[in-house]
C-alpha cells in the first residue's frame, strides 16, 4: 500500500484542499496521512471565512510521527497558512519522504495575476525555498510569474511558457507543469510542462468560464495519484486534466453555488 502525506488546509465547506485530496487519493487506492496547515470555516472564495493557523499542531505531528518511525512514498504540499510553515514542510520532506519517493509542491500563491489577499509578498520568497526539494511543481501561470518575479501576461505563447519552466528548473524544481496557460486555439487554455529530461509536455484543454475553487488542488492530487500508480507523466497530466474538466462540467450542469467547487460525491462515482 502506497502512503501519501498531504499537507494542505482543511476547509469545512467547499470541495477544496484536503476535503478534495483525501477522497481522491483513497479512491485511487492510496493511503493518506493528512497534515492540516490551517482549518477554515469555508474556502477563501466566501467572504468572512474564518481561518486558524495550525503550525503548532504541525510541529507536534512531526514529532509524534518521528517517534512512530513512519515514512511516505509521496509528499504533497499545497496551501500554507504563512511563510513560517515553509520550514515545517521542509522538515516533513527531509524526515519522512521515502528514498525514491515523489515530492509534489503546488505553490499556492495567487491567481489572475494577483497574490492572494491572505499573503504578504514575503510568502513568495519563502515558497521559492521549497523548489529545490520538489520532483514536481504545479503552479498556475500567475504563480509561475510570482515565483519568477515577472509581470503577469495571460497571453504568453508556448515557447515563452517553456522558458518559464526552464527558469523554474534553474531555481531547483525538477519537473514543472504550468496550468491555466494561454492557448491560441479559441475556447481553450493550455497546460505547459517540462520534465527533468527536458521533454516538452503540452496539452490544450477546453476553457470553461466558471469560478471553480479547488480545481488546482484536484488537478495536482489526481496527477500525483496517477504517477504513484505508475502512469507516465504525459498520461497522468491528461487524466488529471480530463477529471477536472468533467468535474467542472458536472458542477455547471447541476447549477449549484460555483464557490463550492467540483461535486466530488458525484464526480468520483464511489
pLDDT of residue 210: 78
Phi and psi at 152, nearest 5°, equal -80, 125
pLDDT of residue 269: 81
pLDDT of residue 208: 86
pLDDT band at 211 (very low <50, low <70, confident <90, very high): confident
Query: What digits encode the pLDDT tens for the residues 154-181?
Result: 999 999 999 999 999 999 999 999 999 9
The class (CATH top level) of 3-267 is alpha beta
Mean pLDDT score, 128-149? 98
Q: Where are the domains of the chain?
A: 3-267
Residues 176, 124, 170: CA angle, nearest 5 degrees: 35
Query: What digits encode the pLDDT tens for the residues 11-43?
Result: 999 999 999 999 999 999 999 999 999 999 999
pLDDT band at 270 (very low <50, low <70, confident <90, very high): low
Between residues 17 and 210, the one the model is more confident about: 17
Task: Please report, for residues 187, 214, 226, 261, the alpha-carbon distance to residue 211 in angstroms, rounded to integers and kept in the order given.
Answer: 16, 10, 25, 8
Distance CA 141, CA 107 (A): 11
User: How is residue 259 annotated by DSSP?
Assistant: G
Mean pLDDT score, 120-137? 98
Distance CA 233, CA 176 (A): 11
Strand order in the sheet with 97-105: 51-53, 31-40, 3-11, 72-77, 97-105, 136-137, 175-182, 188-194, 200-206
Q: Is the pTM of this model over 0.85?
A: yes
Mean pLDDT score, 252-269? 91
CB-based contacts of 163, cutoff 8 Å, min separation 6: none
Amino acid at each position: 500500500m502506497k502512503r501519501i502525506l498531504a499537507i494542505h488546509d482543511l476547509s469545512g465547506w467547499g470541495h477544496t484542499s484536503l476535503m478534495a485530496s483525501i477522497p481522491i487519493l483513497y479512491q485511487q487506492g492510496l493511503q493518506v496521512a493528512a497534515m492540516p496547515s490551517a482549518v477554515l470555516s469555508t474556502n477563501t472564495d466566501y467572504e468572512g471565512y474564518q481561518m486558524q493557523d495550525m503550525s503548532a499542531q504541525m510541529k507536534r505531528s512531526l514529532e509524534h510521527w518521528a517517534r512512530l518511525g513512519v515514512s511516505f512514498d509521496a509528499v504533497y504540499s499545497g496551501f500554507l497558512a504563512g511563510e513560517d510553515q515553509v520550514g515545517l514542510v521542509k522538515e516533513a520532506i527531509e524526515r519522512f519522504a521515502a528514498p525514491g519517493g515523489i515530492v509534489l509542491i503546488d505553490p499556492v500563491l495567487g491567481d489572475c495575476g494577483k497574490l492572494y489577499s491572505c499573503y504578504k509578498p514575503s510568502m513568495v520568497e519563502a515558497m521559492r525555498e521549497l523548489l529545490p526539494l520538489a520532483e514536481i511543481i504545479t503552479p498556475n501561470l500567475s504563480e509561475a510569474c510570482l515565483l519568477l518575479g515577472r509581470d503577469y501576461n495571460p497571453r504568453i505563447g508556448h515557447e515563452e511558457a517553456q522558458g518559464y519552466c526552464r527558469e523554474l528548473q534553474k531555481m531547483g524544481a525538477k519537473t514543472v507543469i504550468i496550468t491555466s496557460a494561454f492557448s491560441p486555439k479559441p475556447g481553450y487554455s493550455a497546460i505547459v510542462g517540462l520534465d527533468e529530461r527536458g521533454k516538452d509536455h503540452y496539452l490544450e484543454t477546453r476553457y470553461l468560464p466558471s469560478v471553480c475553487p479547488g480545481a488546482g488542488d484536484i488537478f495536482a492530487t489526481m496527477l500525483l495519484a496517477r504517477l504513484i500508480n505508475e502512469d507516465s507523466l504525459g498520461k497522468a497530466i491528461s487524466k488529471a486534466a480530463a477529471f477536472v474538466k468533467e468535474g467542472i462540467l458536472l458542477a455547471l450542469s447541476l447549477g449549484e453555488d460555483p464557490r463550492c467547487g467540483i461535486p466530488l460525491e458525484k464526480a468520483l462515482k464511489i
